[in-house]
């Protein structure tokens, strides 16, 4: 492998990277393709889709739908390159695209369905949910059966069976395959945990670790080296997953694969160290939501009373800096311990992930 720096290697995580969207290409693969493949985690929706494709019948239309950046193109490109599906299926990887400069995406779908009939190869389409709704409203009258099937899918409850089926149409929706789940052991996301493991796993086959070690040996003071080292700590990973889970649960922030990778890129390559980058940064949707959980912004009755008493000079005897004390507080998965030495009035702070 050529001398790729950690900064360049981590660039594949950014949403601005050419690797953020998977497309069909015939160029020769390079080290950056290997780095992206290193990150791959097979999702439940892909497993169920492939199981369905194995028994799909001629004339079927199979929609893989969701939000922008959730991994539709990645899954469909993998299916298209799989010998099991290459010749058995017709593919339309991105329904937001058209076949000609002056053609709209709706017109492209009209043409696609016009050439599809009962004896055709099953048709597999990657499409945003918003575009589905647009086609249900604006599609050609001759495709009324497909438009009605889409309307039925969009009106169905979230707990509908997977996949949703109507007439000859089947719908696999990313929203029916949540990336988070409640767990007694607080393992809120096996998907994110697996992704972080692929990025940071300490073994000789991990290209990111190989590049990290090389950069660390040359310049251990690089900020990205320090941030990557922090991210390798299991406790830090658990805190990050918990913060993302809270953003999903409390802020109703949908987490796509693309925004998640860009989130990790910001943590590692942002302006500060990882623990500062977690709560600052306006460019990433996840950071915007997670920043609301910044302990520095939290207000509780106890904290406000403490500040008020301090401002009024009414310091608790227990908090008298002239006496040695140890106090700890736990917020958002982080424990902060404050020790006073009792002689010089010095306060020593220790912050670490809560186990």
Asked if 119 and 58 touch (Cβ cutoff 8 Å), the reply is yes
Where along the chain do its domains lie?
6-21+34-39+180-294, 44-176, 298-353
Q: What is the pLDDT of residue 172?
A: 95
CA-wise closest residue to 179 among 277, 248, 108? 248
**Residue 181's pLDDT is what?**
84
SS3 351: strand
CA-nearest of 141, 144, 122, 148 to 64 is 122
The pLDDT assigned to 223 comes to 96
Residue 351 burial by CB count (10 A; 0-12/13-18/19+): exposed, middle or buried? exposed
Tens digits of residue pLDDT in 27-75? 567 788 899 899 999 999 999 999 999 999 999 999 999 888 888 988 9
Count of beta carbons in the 10 Å neighbourhood of residue 73: 18
* DSSP 8-state assignment for residue 162: S
Checking if the pLDDT of 320 tops 70, the result is no
State whether the Cα torsion 282-284-286-290 is positive or negative: negative
Parallel, antiparallel or unpaired: strands 334-340 and 347-353? antiparallel
Per residue in 118-175, pLDDT tens? 888 999 999 999 999 999 999 999 999 999 999 999 998 666 567 999 989 999 999 8
Instruction: Specify the pLDDT at position 25.
Output: 53
Ramachandran assignment for 82, one of left (phi > 0), alpha (psi -120 to 50 degrees), beta (any other): beta
Q: What is the pTM of this model?
A: 0.79
Given 3.30.420.40, 3.10.20.30, 3.30.450.20, 3.40.50.10860, which CATH number is that of 298-353? Answer: 3.30.450.20
> Lowest mean pLDDT: which of 55-59, 158-162, 243-247, 281-285?
158-162
Q: Look at residue 95 and tell me whether its pLDDT is greater than 80.
A: no
Give the HSE-up count for residue 261: Cα atoms under 13 Å, Cβ half-sphere: 26
Contact of 241 with 190, CB cutoff 8 Å: no
pLDDT in tens, 188-199: 999 999 999 999
In the block, tokens 């409203």 appear at 137
Can you state the angle between helices 257-269 and 223-231, rounded to 10 degrees? 130
CA-closest candidate to residue 70, choices 23, 128, 25? 128
Share of the chain above pLDDT 70, in %: 84
The DSSP result for 68-122, as a single string, is: TTSSHHHHHHHHHTSTTTTTT-EEE--TT--SSTT--HHHHHHHHHHT--TTSPP
C-beta contacts of 276-285 below 8 A and 24+ residues apart: 277/227, 278/240, 278/243, 284/259, 285/253, 285/259
Residue 345 pLDDT class (50, 70, 90 cuts) = low
- What are the percentages of helix, strand and coil residues in the chain, rounded to 5? 45, 10, 40
DSSP secondary structure code for residue 276 in this structure: H
């Amino acid at each position: 492998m050529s001398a790729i720096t950690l900064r360049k290697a981590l660039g594949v995580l950014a949403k601005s990277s050419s690797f953020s969207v998977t497309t069909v290409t015939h160029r020769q693969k390079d080290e950056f393709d290997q780095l992206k493949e290193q990150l791959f985690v097979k999702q439940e929706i892909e497993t169920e889709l492939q199981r369905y494709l194995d028994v799909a019948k001629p004339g079927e239309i199979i929609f893989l739908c969701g939000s922008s950046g959730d991994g539709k193109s990645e899954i469909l490109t993998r299916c298209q390159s799989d010998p099991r599906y290459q010749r058995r299926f017709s593919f339309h990887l991105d329904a937001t695209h058209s076949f000609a400069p002056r053609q709209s995406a709706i017109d492209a779908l009209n043409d696609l369905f016009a050439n599809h009939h009962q004896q055709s190869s099953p048709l597999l389409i990657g499409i945003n949910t918003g575009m589905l709704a647009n086609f249900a409203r604006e599609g050609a009258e001759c495709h009324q059966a497909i438009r009605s099937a889409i309307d039925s899918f969009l009106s169905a409850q979230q707990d509908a069976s997977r996949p949703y089926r109507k007439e000859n149409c089947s719908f696999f929706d990313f929203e029916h395959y949540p990336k988070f789940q409640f767990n007694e052991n607080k393992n809120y996301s096996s998907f994110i945990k697996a992704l972080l493991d692929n990025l940071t796993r300490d073994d000789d086959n991990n290209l990111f670790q190989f590049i990290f070690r090389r950069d660390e040996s040359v310049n251990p003071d690089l900020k990205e080296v320090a941030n990557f080292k922090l991210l390798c700590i299991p406790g830090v990973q658990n805190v990050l997953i918990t913060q993302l889970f809270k953003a999903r649960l409390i802020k109703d922030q949908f987490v796509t694969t693309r925004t998640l990778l860009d989130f990790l890129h910001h943590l590692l390559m942002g302006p500060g160290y990882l623990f500062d980058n977690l709560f600052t940064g306006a460019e990433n949707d996840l950071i915007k939501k997670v920043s609301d959980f910044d302990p520095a912004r939290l207000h509780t009755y106890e904290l406000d009373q403490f500040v008020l008493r301090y401002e009024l000079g009414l310091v608790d005897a227990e908090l008298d800096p002239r006496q040695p004390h140890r106090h700890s507080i736990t917020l958002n998965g982080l424990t902060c311990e404050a020790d006073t030495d009792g002689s010089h009035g010095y306060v020593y702070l220790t912050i670490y992930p809560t186990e």
